[in-house]
């Protein structure tokens, strides 16, 4: 599954449109990275966010980037060094909890598609002014949840969001039903207990259920 040769900002939209749910992954053991990616991709979730919260994260991105059919991104990008390390590891996109001028400039210099975080209309407008029209709404539930995101969408219809942070199997459909939501990020599709025991079939089943979300919205 290839992306069109458009600019990095457009590719962010293409990646987010691949499936309704982007798995948010915290990987402690690099040995689990490839089979985890294979299970999620087989279940219909090809866009994967590996958070840079563990020592194994960059090696996990390297391993996952070799799995056919997937698009592996680096989450929790904070600094320009994070951006360069993620790109060198093979990340095809990045995700950040917020956005600074330095971080945006680093992603633009590295031609790394970025899903930058915003929680307020002001933050969203600043990013839109720089050319970013698909954003991560974070932390989604703590920032008012689906009602808040719907309210932000009224005056800013040109911005599309990927809510993350408190999005669960129970409330994901509510977010996905909003006109200004393209996808949502969630960790429930790859629970730590299933990763620990190597239950890749169970994770594939969770992924397949998530891939079908929003179909009736």
Residue numbers annotated as active site: 49, 136
In three-state secondary structure terms, 37 is: helix
- DSSP class of 190: S
* Distance of alpha carbon 118 from alpha carbon 137, whole angstroms: 5
Chain-centre distance for alpha carbon 201: 22
Cβ burial, residue 111 (10 Å; 0-12/13-18/19+): exposed
Give the other-Cβ count within 10 Å of 178's Cβ: 20
Encoded tokens for 136: 């991560």
Encoded tokens for 21: 């749910």
User: Do residues 8 and 133 make contact, with C-beta atoms less than 8 angstroms apart?
Assistant: no
Encoded tokens for 214: 């929003």
- For residue 133, whether the previous peptide bond is cis, meaning omega lies within 30 degrees of 0, is no
Q: What is the dihedral of CA 89, 90, 94, 96, to 10 degrees?
A: -10
* Distance of alpha carbon 27 from alpha carbon 44, whole angstroms: 20
């Amino acid at each position: 599954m290839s992306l069109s040769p458009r600019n990095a900002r457009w590719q962010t939209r293409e990646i987010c449109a691949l499936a309704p749910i982007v798995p948010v992954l915290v990987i402690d053991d690099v040995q689990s990275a490839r089979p985890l990616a294979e299970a999620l991709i087989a279940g219909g979730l090809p866009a994967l966010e590996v958070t840079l919260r563990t020592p194994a994260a960059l090696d996990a991105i390297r391993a996952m980037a070799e799995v056919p059919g997937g698009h592996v991104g680096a989450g929790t990008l904070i600094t320009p060094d994070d951006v360069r390390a993620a790109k060198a590891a093979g990340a095809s996109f990045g995700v950040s909890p917020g956005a600074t001028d330095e971080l945006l400039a680093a992603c633009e210099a590295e031609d790394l598609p970025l899903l930058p975080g915003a929680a307020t209309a002001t933050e969203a407008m600043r990013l839109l002014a720089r050319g970013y029209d698909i954003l991560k709404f974070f932390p989604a539930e703590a920032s008012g949840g689906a009602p808040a995101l719907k309210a932000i969408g009224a005056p800013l219809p040109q911005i599309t969001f990927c809510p993350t942070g408190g999005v669960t199997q129970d409330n994901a459909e509510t977010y996905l039903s909003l006109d200004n939501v393209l996808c949502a990020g969630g960790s429930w599709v790859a629970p730590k207990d299933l990763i620990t025991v190597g239950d890749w079939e169970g994770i594939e089943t969770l992924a397949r259920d998530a891939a079908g979300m929003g179909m009736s919205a």
